[in-house]
A and B are shown apart, each in its own frame.
Chain A
C-alpha cells in the first residue's frame, strides 16, 4: 500500500474513531487546547507590545545616528564617562564640511522649561534648539502649519513648532498657528504643530517644542553639549556612515591613535536591543509554562491512545488478518493521535481568536500573527506524534492470533 493512500485511509479511520468518541477526544485534547491557547495568546500579546514599540521607535528614526556625549544605555563604569568633553558646534561644522555618506544633518540641544499661554501653564516641557534641517534629518511630519525656514533658523527668529501634547494643553479647540506662547520669559510665535509620535519607554515625543538653535543659545546659554544628528545617505550602509562619523569625530576632537572614543554614536538599534532583552525574558518564561501545559496534554493523549488501542484490539486483529502490515497499523493510530492533537490545536486557536479580539479592542492593538497559527499547527502535530507513538507501536506489534481472540 502506498504511503499517500495509507495516510488518507488512516485519516478517514481516525475521523470515524474521533466522532464515535467525541467527548473523550475533546477531553483528551484539553491539555493541548490549553497549551495552544496559552502560546497563541502570549504571542498575540507580545505582538501587540512589539507593534506599540515599533510605532514609537519610528520617531527615533532607523537611519539616523545621534552623536552625543554619552551612549544610550551605556554599560561601562561612570569613570569612563565623567571626563568627556562637550560636543560642540565646531565638531558639528567639521563633520558637515567633510562627511560623504550623509544626506542631511543638524545639531540639536535640549532643556526643560516651562511654557505659558494666556493663563495656562505647562511645566517640564522639553525645548529643543535646532535648525531647519531638523525636519529632513529626523523625519518629523507637521500636522498643522510648517517647519521653520533656513532664514528663520539662521536669523534666530522667535518661532516655535509645538508637539501634539502642547497643542492639546493650550489649543484644544483653537487654531494654534500665529498664537504667541512664552517659553520661560520669552515670547514665540507658533508656526507649526508636529504630528503625534507617541512615547518610548515612558518618555513622550509629543511633550516638546522646537525653536531655532541660535536663539536657544542666546536665551538659554551656550555652555551645553550638542547632539549631532546625522541621517545616513543609504539606510543599508548605516554602519559605513557610522564609521565615517566616528573617524571624523576623532579627528575634530584630536583623539590620539589607540585612544578611546570620548563620545557616543547612538542609534535606534540601542533601544531595540534593550527592548528585546526585556521581551526575551517574558518569552522564555511564557514558553516554559506553555511547554508544561503541552507536555501534560501530551501525557493525556498518550493515556487515551493506550486505552483506545486496548479497546480496539479485536479491530487490530481483524485488520491484520486481512492484510494490514505493522506499518499500516502504526500509521493508523499515529494519525489518530495526530488528528486529536490537531483538533486540540484548532480548538485552541478558535478560543484564542475572540480573546485576541478583546485584547485588541480594550488593551492594545494587536492580532494573532500568522506564523503563530502555523506554529500552533506544527506543535499540535508534533505532540500528536510524540504522544501517539508508543501506543501505536504497541498496536502494530500485536500478534494477530491473540488480537483476534480478544473479547
Chain B
C-alpha cells in the first residue's frame, strides 16, 4: 500500500501571552492511498489544528510530516501554497466559494493558480462539474445555487487538480439531513473511484460513512480503528 500521509510525532504549541498552550501532543499517523478516514473529536480536542496541519495550512511546532513523499513540515509559505494547490482538495463546512464568480470559474481557480492554460482549464473544470452532477449549473453564481449544489461545486473544485487527498471539514454541517446524505453518497463514489478522503467531523452519523475512524481527545489520538460495519459491507458487496 502506498503511503500518502505520514505524520511522525507532530506537536503544535501556541504561545498565549505568558503561557504556552500545547494543542497537539505528539500525533503519529499514516494514511494510505484510497483510504476513507474520518477524524473525530469534540471541539477543543485539537482536531481542527490537526486538520490544518494535514491540509498544509499550518506547520507543526515539532515532528515530521511527509505528504506524497515530500517533507512538508519545514517548507516555507511559497512551497506550502504550491503543495496545497497540487496535493490537497479542500471541502469546507461553509462551502467557501467566491461569491462574484460562477460555478465554472470557482472550479477553475486552482488551475489558474497552477498556471494551466485557459482551454485546458475550462475543459478540466467542466469535467469536474459533470462528475458531481452539475453539468447544467456551470454558469450559475453561488447565490443562485442551493446549499447541496454549492457543496458539489466546492467538491468539484477540490477534485479538479487531481489532489493526493480530499480534506473535508464538516462537509454536511450546513446542509439538511437529506442533502447531507447525498453529499456523503458523492464522497462514497469518489472513494470508489480511487480518491483518498479525510473527513473531519464531530457527528457519528457522518463519520460512520468512513472506513477508518480516528478519534482525537486532548491533543492525542484516543483510538484509531477500522469501521467494522463498513468493512463488512464492502466485503459483502465485493
Contacts and interface: CB of A to CB of B under 8 A. Distances in A.
A9 interface: yes
Nearest to B76: A326
A319 B109 contact: yes
B114 A323 contact: yes
A1 B114 contact: yes
Q: Which among A9, A318, A320 has the highest number of chain B CB atoms within 10 Å?
A: A318
A16 B100 contact: yes
Contact of B98 (A9, A315, A326, A327): A315
Contacts of B33: none
Interface in B172-223: none
Nearest to A327: B78
Minimum-distance CB pairs A-B, first 10: A323-B85, A323-B113, A1-B115, A325-B81, A322-B110, A318-B96, A400-B57, A16-B100, A401-B57, A323-B84
Interface of B: 52, 55, 57-58, 77-78, 81-82, 84-86, 90, 92, 96-98, 100-101, 109-110, 112-115, 157, 161
Contacts of A400: 57-58
Interface in A301-339: 314-315, 317-328
Contacts of A401: 52, 57-58
Given A16-B101, A315-B98, A401-B57, A324 B52 contact: no
Contact of A325 (B55, B58, B78, B90): B78
Contacts, number: 65
A40 B114 CA distance: 42
A277 interface: no
A1 B113 contact: yes
B133 to A, nearest CB: 21
Interface residues of A, number: 24
Contacts of B110: 322-323
B194 to A, nearest CB: 21
A1 B100 contact: no
Q: Taking chain A's interface residues, is the majority helix, strand, or loop, or is none over half, making it mixed?
A: helix
A83 interface: no
Contacts of B114: 1, 323
A314 B96 contact: yes
Contact of B86 (A319, A321, A323): A323
A174 B87 CA distance: 94
Contacts of A17: 100
Given A314-B96, A404-B57, A326 B84 contact: no
Q: Which among A17, A319, A322 has the highest number of chain B CB atoms within 10 Å?
A: A322
